[in-house]
Every structure is written in C-alpha cells, then in structure tokens.
Amino acid sequence: MVRLTSERVDPWLLAEQEKTLEGQIALGTLSRLAPLLVEDSGEAAFVMEFGRDEHGRSVIRSSVKAELRLECQRCLHTMTLPVDASGVLALVRGPMEAEQLPAELDPLLLQENESLELARLVEDELLLSIPVSPRHEAGVCQSHETAHAGEPVAETSQETAPNPFKVLAGLKTGSTDDS
C-alpha cells in the first residue's frame, strides 16, 4: 500500500515489469481538486495496474474511489458525490501515436524517460468524475423542497397556451389576429 504525496514513477519501466501500485491520497493535498470541495478531508483510494495490452502497448489500468463533498448547485447545500472511476491509459510518445489508438484507450503523452506523478493521475480521474453542475438527486434538495412546499402546481395545456407561431402565420397570410 502506497501513501501518495508527490511520488514520481517511471511508467514505462512499471509497464515492462507489470507492476501494480495501490494506495491512498489525502484529498486536501490535491491542489486542483481541493478548491472545488466543501470539505477537503478524506482520502481517495487508487489502484494502478501497469502492463501491456494484447497489442503490446504499454498501458495503465486505473481505478479511483472517493467520496467528494461538493456544493449542490440547485440548493447550495453540501452533497456527497461517490466516485468509482476506472479507465485505461495508453502510454504514447507523440500525437501521431495517440491518433492511432482505438477509441477505448485514452492517450497519456510521455517521453521515453519522463516520470509520472501518480497523485496527478489520481487527481485527473477525480476531476473528470465531477459533473459540470453537481446536484442532489431530484427531490432531495433541502431549499428547493422547502421553498415550494404547499404551492399549487400550475397546469398548462396546449389548448389554453397561446401559440407563439400564430403571429408569424398571420404575417404570412396578411392577418395579425391574436385570437
């Protein structure tokens, strides 16, 4: 088990040796993720399996699990987003090699002797798991439920709603009758 801060590894060597690294990293140490969190306490658990795929490409199979405490964009209260992200990254040396990958592989551009910061890879997976507008499930938001409690639901029907295109049809025929 590895406890990460800013550990750097040689992904090419680990893929050649078919090593698996697993551990945890404190969410508060992830500089790009921490500002998005209401609470940066807690940890993300990860498993990184380095190896080769059936075509001999160096790959990293990753799995990241965490519970992120975010602000719901509907009610502005704290919500918990469970993250269970996994993916396969192919180590590539250049853009042309990346373009030749099948759709199920995401490229990770690294030079032959370039090291990889595992914490950054874990952070990337967590960031990609956050929706653009995080919200509670429908009917769970506190302020949304209390703000509209007891209010009658307005019903509209197509028969009583004015047709916005009727004016345009009238212009075409020369009549602008709104009735």
pLDDT cut 70: percent of the chain above it: 77
Average pLDDT, the chain: 82
pLDDT of 141 reads 81
Q: Is 51 exposed, middle or buried (0-12, 13-18, 19+ CB in 10 A)?
A: middle
pLDDT of 108 reads 92
Given a cut of 90, whether residue 146 has pLDDT beyond it is no
Q: Identify the residue with better confidence: 114 or 52.
A: 52
Contacts of 90 (CB under 8 A, 6+ apart): 53, 57, 58, 59, 98, 101, 105, 106, 107, 108
Tell me how far the alpha carbon of residue 172 is from its chain's centroid: 49
Given a cut of 70, whether residue 153 has pLDDT beyond it is no
Summarised one tens digit per residue, pLDDT across range 48-106 is 999 999 898 999 999 999 999 999 988 889 999 999 999 999 999 888 988 989 988 99
Given a cut of 50, whether residue 132 has pLDDT beyond it is yes
- Residue 18 half-sphere exposure toward CB, CA atoms < 13 A: 3
Contact yes or no for 78/46 (Cβ under 8 A): no
In this prediction, residue 161 has a pLDDT band, given cuts at 50, 70 and 90, of low
Summarised one tens digit per residue, pLDDT across range 20-51 is 999 999 999 999 999 999 988 899 999 999 99
In this prediction, residue 154 has a pLDDT band, given cuts at 50, 70 and 90, of very low
pLDDT of 85 reads 94
Q: Identify the residue with better confidence: 121 or 151.
A: 121
Question: Among residues 70, 65, 71, which one has the least CA distance to residue 126?
Answer: 65
pLDDT of 7 reads 79
pLDDT of 23 reads 92
Calpha distance 116→100 (Å, rounded): 22
